[in-house]
Amino acid sequence: MKVVLFCGGYGMRMRDGSDDMIPKPMQLVGPRPLLWHVMRYYAHFGHKEFILCLGYGAEHIKNFFLTYQESVSNDFVIREGRVELLRSDISDWSITFVDTGVESAIGERLRRVRQYLGEDEIFLANYADVLTDAPLDEMIAEFADSGAAASMMVVPPQSSFHCVDLTPTGEVKDIMPVARMPLWENGGYFVLTQEVFDLLPPDGDLVADACGTLAGQGRLFGYRHLGFWKPADTFKERAELDAGYRAGVRPWMVWEPA
């Protein structure tokens, strides 16, 4: 299946106070950017045709792949002055780079790459800033069995805050951590059919417009994942992922040998 990755956001919450122009998907986790980790995840499950929806910082993403160095994450031999790779990351990938506008909403970015999906009825989509160990094959199979028109992975709330139940007079009746409440969050991993395009207005939103409409029709499937899931929406979250990588705690790297 083709994989659409939304790579065009500003990533303002990722900034660490510096005037850093690097887009969020290109922030590093270990020696490689977030985008690479997301793509390696999909490639591990056999999905190696990528469509990148570019916007802010597009030149950084293009240059990363145009000057890609396999030796950074693969073993190699230098013999008679020539580099012989023992493994390769992206040699069998197909990557389509599409300028979808700096200010475009997610739904509009998706609309602008529709032609590159060809006749494929089902495709995958991702925000390119969330890492997980979710079993993608199972996610796709459950979607197919559901008969729905779209699916999103959902995860328990990640917030450490507490919710407070108050009476009208201000008496606290209960305090409960958000993570213990019977709620689910959008996990950012989608399995979609081309029917979503019929529900996307110009400058529309994938979740609010297309998924919201399908949910009202009972045709949106939610795949519950209780395993590892972590966004890199802020500088702190990205730093935590990087620290985990360097400590050898990398549950999202499902492609590594067990």
Looking at residue 179, what is its pLDDT?
A: 65
Looking at residue 257, what is its pLDDT?
A: 83
Please say if the pLDDT value at position 16 is more than 70. Answer: no
What letter represents residue 205's amino acid?
D
Residue 72 pLDDT grade (very low, low, confident, very high; cuts 50, 70, 90): confident
Q: Report the alpha-carbon distance of residue 255 to residue 40 in Å, rounded.
A: 7
N-terminal to C-terminal alpha carbon distance within the chain:
26
Q: Is the pTM of this model over 0.75?
A: yes
Choose between 46 and 77: higher pLDDT.
Answer: 46
- Point out which residues pair with 223 in neighbouring strands: 153
Tokens read off for 202 = 């110009």
CA dist list (Å): 189 to 24, 151, 229: 17, 8, 11
Which strands form 185-193's sheet, in the order they lie side by side? 94-99, 49-54, 2-6, 122-126, 185-193, 150-155, 220-224
Q: What is the mean pLDDT of residues 56-61?
A: 93
Summarize pLDDT for 156-170 with one digit per residue, the tens.
887 667 778 888 888
Looking at residue 11, what is its pLDDT?
A: 57
Q: Report the alpha-carbon distance of residue 210 to residue 204 in Å, rounded.
A: 8
Question: Is 2-155+184-246 in CATH node 3.30.930.10?
Answer: no
Summarize pLDDT for 134-144 with one digit per residue, the tens.
999 999 999 99
Please say if the pLDDT value at position 37 is more than 70. Answer: yes
Whether 122 and 193 have beta carbons less than 8 Å apart is answered as yes
Q: Report the alpha-carbon distance of residue 36 to residue 69 in Å, rounded.
A: 12
The domains of the chain are located at 2-155+184-246
